[in-house]
Structure 1
Amino acid sequence: MTLDQGGSYMPVRYEERERAVVVAGVGGWVPPDVVTNDDLCARLDTSDEWIRTRTGIRTRHVISPGMATSDLAFEAGRRALGSADDREIGAVVLATTTPDRPCPATAPDVAARLGLVGVPAFDISAVCAGFLYGLATAAGLIASGTARQVLLIGADAFTTIVDPKDRSTAVIFADGAGAVVLRAGRADEPGAVGPVVLGSDGRFAHLIQVPAGGSRQRSRSRSCGPGEEFFQMEGRDTFRQAVERMSAASRHAVESAGWSLEDVDRFAAHQANARILEAVADELAIPAGHRLSNISRVGNTGAASIPLLLAQAAEDSSLAEGHRTLLTAFGGGLAWGAATLTWPKLPTA
């Protein structure tokens, strides 16, 4: 949006037909506090070997007392803006499952802290698939002329909703944020995002949920039951659904982009756990050297997972200019998605 001479907001007018969404900046951040497997073993009935063999995780980053999702999102957003040539942002979209408060949304606070007062800013919730849902949302804002550039952030402080005594989830989830600057551009230029494939199936909402805290529990005029305030996941069925949905969405996205799976140079999947990542990549026959991963260092960071992975991979050069990249994610809802892009040359932050 832009301001006219009378101070009213007017839709962006393009001299050329620029309707593709192009990655123009990237940034990621994890809080400084680190929890190792040995730290968890000191309070849970588990071992370093059990955690590593089942999840692939060795360390994870957690927020310190008093820190919130907005702090993670602000830092990742700041870094993404710093890596972009043009930092004039027309909208801020925040994908998160752990907003600072149930009301209001967290995105306006983050936007204000970044100096983006007055621009539209809102949250979206698709759990671990949130970044891909946000990617489609940002593309819509750009295509409609609402914004020429969008700051899309994925941020989660999952340790605030995980039961610290639950071995099945406490060893997996962590905190972090990743962000991208997206601009209007041409479909044939580096950084252009291909068609975003999305799906959902609410019949399986019970597989990944926080039962308490919403209108259904509150309308019953009763306190939540034991553990209902915490994140819950049915691991075995979630595994099967994740592999099936991400594999199918990935094939659809690649086909929609006019690629084949053999064209994929880098595979950036939601870092759920190492076994899921391996199963999906094997199903798609992605070579081992083409699979990006940071799960051993940062764990499962929810909606932050993909943009944080992209930021870290770009920083260490495992993701470089020209790499044809396939993104895919799966989360509660159930919700899932996939998209393609050719990685661009980005300015140094």
Structure 2
Amino acid sequence: MKPPTPSRATAPSAGPVPLGASPAAAVVCGIGAWVPPRVVTNAELARRLDTSDDWIRTRTGIRRRHVVAPGVSTGDLALQAGRRALESAGGAPVEAVVLATTTPDRPCPATAPEVASRLGLGGVPAFDVAAVCTGFVYALATASGLIAAGLARRVLVIGADAFSTIVDPHDRTTTAIFGDGAGAVVLRSGDPAEPGALGPFDLGSDGGLADLITVEAGGSRQRSTGRTAPAPDHYFRMDGKSVFRQAVLRMTESAQRVLDRAGLRIDEVDRFVGHQANARLLDAVAARLGLLPEHVVRHIDRVGNTAAASVPLALADAAHRGVVRPGHRVLLTAFGGGLTWGSAVLRWPDCRPVL
């Protein structure tokens, strides 16, 4: 089904919140997702790498992943997910676009303005958020702030990454893990007590551990030396064991903090949508929090780790399959390079995903 084309006219400004007025809440009113059609199975990887289907599945829980075709960019993925989220929300115009990504189309400019233009959104403010795999949660918090400040009444939030373009194709430890995709939600101004209202949030970072997850080449630090970076420095690298330990710790602590702020007990959480980095990671965080296995949303087996797209893709898939239903209390938690981490809670609205 082809979604309606949004108006090219710029939506009127919401204006600032009057002094003394209560800030509006950001309410989820649309959700969409997109993965490229090309599927790479574990068996295909095993034919060209020193690995096997069993090795990948037992260590990550991944059976397949989707990857972009030559010439397809993160912006293309974001465009598809954005269109679907707008259709899910009824096609109403949005007043800002926030795109979370670590694989922008170009180092400069940001990818979001072009995505907004391609969506026919006129001159709305649009910008990128870079927090690696925590990016979507950071973007949700940022968009919620725009709505609370009265700067926008509707915001399109997209998480999109094409990690297959930055992993070493000969490295089984990263090539087997990552996939490409995009997920998006539309947030509108609403009441904090209504279904779909986001909040509270918990965000954090630790730049002292930045080297655990990195792409060394391409930035000002490398370029300012005047030296050509060796080929491996252009690829994504991470210290897997250290990252796993940090992810379990930070996601658990962040999730507990946001539940405390919301005044919720863990047994009041209906669904846990964590960053789909590794099946063992999801199990470890759920166990530490005291969540039952049936409350954990799993999507990683079919798409791999899609970085900033991970949480919205899993959420859209779960809502589509009826795993997440209207009225469910949902806990979102993510962890990524930076290091960064973040969590949020919401009660799921009656919102039909468009995939």
TM-score, normalised to structure 2's length?
0.94
For 1:145, which of 142, 146, 150 is the aligned residue?
150
Q: For residue 167 of structure 1, what is the aligned residue in structure 2?
A: 172
Q: For residue 6 of structure 2, what is the aligned residue in structure 1?
A: none
1:49 to 2:44 alignment: no
**Higher mean C-alpha deviation, range 284-293 or range 92-101:** 284-293
For 1:203, which of 203, 208, 217 is the aligned residue?
208
Structure 1 portions without partners, runs of 5+: 1-6
Q: How does 1:55-204 map to 2 (within 5 A)?
A: 55-85=60-90, 87-204=92-209
Q: How does 1:1-349 map to 2 (within 5 A)?
A: 10-12=13-15, 17=22, 19-85=24-90, 87-347=92-352, 349=354
Q: Percent identity?
A: 60
Secondary structure (helix, strand or coil) at the match of 2:297 reads: coil
Give the Cα separation in 2 of the matches to 1:156 and 1:346. Answer: 24
| Cα gap change, 1:88 to 1:260, in 2 (>3 Å) | same
Structure 2 portions without partners, runs of 5+: 1-9
Give the Cα separation in 2 of the matches to 1:48 and 1:29. Answer: 25
**Equivalent residues of 1:135, 1:196 under 8 A apart:** no
Q: CA deviation at 1:103?
A: 0.4
Tell me which amino acid in the other structure corresponds to 1:268.
V
Secondary structure (helix, strand or coil) at the match of 1:322 reads: coil
Q: CA deviation at 1:85?
A: 3.4
**Equivalent residues of 2:320, 2:352 under 8 A apart:** no
Tell me which amino acid in the other structure corresponds to 1:326.
L
Secondary structure (helix, strand or coil) at the match of 1:227 reads: helix
- The CA RMSD measured in Å over matched residues stands at 1.6
Secondary structure (helix, strand or coil) at the match of 1:346 reads: coil
TM-score, normalised to structure 1's length?
0.96
Give the Cα separation in 2 of the matches to 1:211 and 1:293. Answer: 31
Q: CA deviation at 1:45?
A: 0.3
Q: CA deviation at 1:86?
A: 5.8
**Equivalent residues of 1:41, 1:48 under 8 A apart:** yes
| Cα gap change, 1:319 to 1:223, in 2 (>3 Å) | same
**Higher mean C-alpha deviation, range 18-27 or range 204-213:** 18-27
**Equivalent residues of 1:41, 1:47 under 8 A apart:** yes
Q: CA deviation at 1:167?
A: 1.1
**Equivalent residues of 1:12, 1:148 under 8 A apart:** no
**Equivalent residues of 1:80, 1:179 under 8 A apart:** yes
